[in-house]
Structure 1
Amino acid sequence: MTLGACSLWPFYPAPPPIANLPATWSGDVTCPGCVPHQQALTLFADGSFHLRDEYPASKRRRGSEVFFDVGRWSRLSGDESRLILRGGSEAVRQFRLQADGHLRQLDPSGSDIRSIRDYVLNRETGLDPIAGPMRLLGQLSIHADAVRFQECLTGRDMQVIEALPVSVSKQYRVAQKLLDADAETPVLTSVLGSFSARLASANESAAGPVWQLDIQRVKRFWPGETCAIGAGAASLPLRDTPWRVLAIGNEPIPADPLAPPLALRLHDDGHVSGHSGCNTLRSAYRADDNALSFDAVSTTRRACIGPSQQALERAWLQVLQQTAAYRVVGSYLELLAGDRVLARLIANEMH
């Protein structure tokens, strides 16, 4: 959804080189020979960002998949045209603001991507808030007169605009009792929610519109946990979390901005989707306690670009065949065969 400049999204004049935020940039960032990939990025003048990666349905992909990220953005000291985005993914994202106002995607080291493709996001005339719904992690507090949620990656402290079900409130109170805490103590909570904004009321100190959150579903409480990101974070659920492969065995996956990441998603209905670096993959899985196994994996039939990608695809598919158990630690997933770690993955989406 694209909104005009008269929307209620928090708006502040930003210092050069980026004028009139919030603003949205979008474009096609499909690498050569890869599945279609559309990206949209909205920057807000309070230093937060929303990003959406969309892989539309195609001849090689039965359905579309969408991944979100949120977090904080800043400019690099000494090079204010270079933007650094820190969100839920392990590595920072980097862009360069061009003289024409568009954003050029950079590689993980901050250098231009050398490719026949032009990895540029064009500034849009309208605003796409990229509001969700998306998975969010934050501190939930329920009081008699209000429900609030402080999101971990952006730091926003937001009013929850719809009343939560009575059953959720009861679970929240149980979580507080586990902490032996009073009614004012927030509880780390994973939710599915959508952002919105409203005008500040007369008794509020905000200079402009303020953030709100519409929670569609509360997924889990983590009593006693904090907003730590990484191994110290509250463990994410195995199912329905998009995972990206960091390492196979002891070998880290080399950063390649031109190749799709090795990816895995175990859906609630028992089917598996993902990517091998060359092809999309499909399978089914069985999980019980810490046991995990995959059925035979089917892939599309696109040839890999070069022997290194082919070897990586073969190694990843072999990991799935050998997996017998799993372990989730914070935002990391380990696929196991006995005591041996076959692969290590990280949540590819903010929590």
Structure 2
Amino acid sequence: MKLLPWVMPALMLWAMLAGCAESPTVRQLQEIRSGAPPAGSPKTPSGFRLPATFVGNLPCADCAGIRYQLNLWPDGLFFLRTTYLEKPVAAGETDRFDEIGLWSFSADRRKLSLRGSRGARESFTVVRPDLLRKLDQKGRPIASELNYDLTRQKTVEPLEPRLLLRGLYSYYADAGRLKECFTGRTFPVATEQDNVALEVTYLKLQQEPGQWLLANLEARVVRRPKMEGAGEQPVIVVERFIKILPGETCETSMSTTELEQAY
């Protein structure tokens, strides 16, 4: 059977496009280096400008108060630090807890909800664009004369969460990146501190270039200038490499609570 003159070039073009579309390593590398916010970033109430830092001292049952610092980023990520004020701390324990996660607003844009990687499920009513008021665990107003308000600061205050992270790690074209399990976001990994141990172990265990392998880390999330374009992006700094789990995925690995108990 003789092919029409245009058929063979069309088939070759289709094969080339299909190969590019199914090359996750190239696509994901372009995504992480672009630094662009994910498509469909959540919408905010009118006048609610981001990024923003909200701070407040909220009631505590057994301490002087719980200081909240909440940093909200335009792409739907949040950083949260809660510090238990004047609370006795035993050796090896801490009075400060960091978390990263995803934020969203209700359909009427009156309620802000947080879903954190350490299990936090908190919500706030938007009193004004510069004032959030904490709600109870069922998302209802708290009947109390105590202060449950977080106020917006004039500038975005620095916050570098330190926490256990679990995610799919890949090293390709001299760039490491981590697809964090809870948020599903892919972060560049800085070439400093215990990153060498992570890279060396990964290169021993990978079966093909750019393969994604599940890794457990103690890390810090920092804001750094983008490799391309203006602005900043979150970057993972590995403070302690724990291990890589070949064959595991985010869905089949242990929960965050189990991870904390194991290390």
Q: Does 1:224 align with 2:247?
A: yes
Would the alpha carbon gap of residues 57 and 32 (structure 1) be closer, same or farther in structure 2, given more than 3 Å must change? closer
Structure 1 gap segments, 5+ residues each: 1-8, 241-351
User: 1:101 maps to which residue?
Assistant: 130
Residue 11 (structure 2) aligns with: none
1:195 and 2:221 aligned:
yes
C-alpha contact 1:196 1:211 (8 A) present in aligned 2: yes
Q: Could you tell me how far 1:124 is from its partner in structure 2? A: 1.1
Shift of 1:144: 4.7
- Structure 1 residues 22-46: Cα deviation after superposition (integer angstroms, max 9, x where no partner): 1111111123554532111111110
CA distance in 1, matches of 2:248, 2:149: 39
Is 1:160 equivalent to 2:189 in the alignment?
yes
Q: Deviations over 1:225-272 (max 9, x none)?
A: 2223996679515255xxxxxxxxxxxxxxxxxxxxxxxxxxxxxxxx
| 1:21-36 → structure 2 map (5 Å cutoff) | 21-31=50-60, 34=63, 36=65
| Contact map agreement 1:22 1:127 (CA 8 A) in 2 | yes
Q: 1:75 aligns with which of 99, 105, 108?
A: 105
The answer (yes or no) to whether the contact 1:132–1:194 under 8 Å persists in 2 is yes
Residues 292-331 of structure 1 mapped to structure 2, 5 A cutoff:
none
The one-letter code sitting in structure 2 at the alignment partner of 1:85 is L
1:55 alignment partner AA: Y
Q: TM-score, normalised by structure 1?
A: 0.55
Distance 1:232 1:192 in 2: 15
Structure with greater Cα Rg: 2
- Counterparts of 1:101 and 1:229 in 2: how far apart (Å)? 41
Query: Which residue type is aligned with residue 220 of structure 1?
Result: K
1:195 Cα deviation after fit:
2.4
**Per-residue deviation at 1:116?**
3.1
The correspondence for 1:38, drawn from 67, 75, 86, is 67
Q: What SS does structure 2 have at the residue aligned with 1:37?
A: strand
Show structure 2 runs of 5+ residues with no match.
Answer: 1-34
d(CA) in 2 for partners of 1:20, 1:218: 36
What is the CA distance between 1:212 and its match in structure 2? 2.0
Residue aligning to 1:243: none
Quote the offset at 1:99 in angstroms.
2.4
Which residue does 2:155 correspond to in 1? Answer: 126
The one-letter amino acid paired with 2:247 is: G
**In structure 2, C-alpha distance between the alignment counterparts of 1:134 and 1:182, rounded to whole Å:** 29
Please, which moves more after superposition, 124-133 or 40-49? 124-133
Q: Which has the higher helix share?
A: 2
Asked whether the equivalents of residues 193 and 217 of structure 1 are also in contact (C-alpha less than 8 Å), the reply is: yes
RMSD: 3.2
- 1:57–1:64 CA contact under 8 A, matched in 2: no
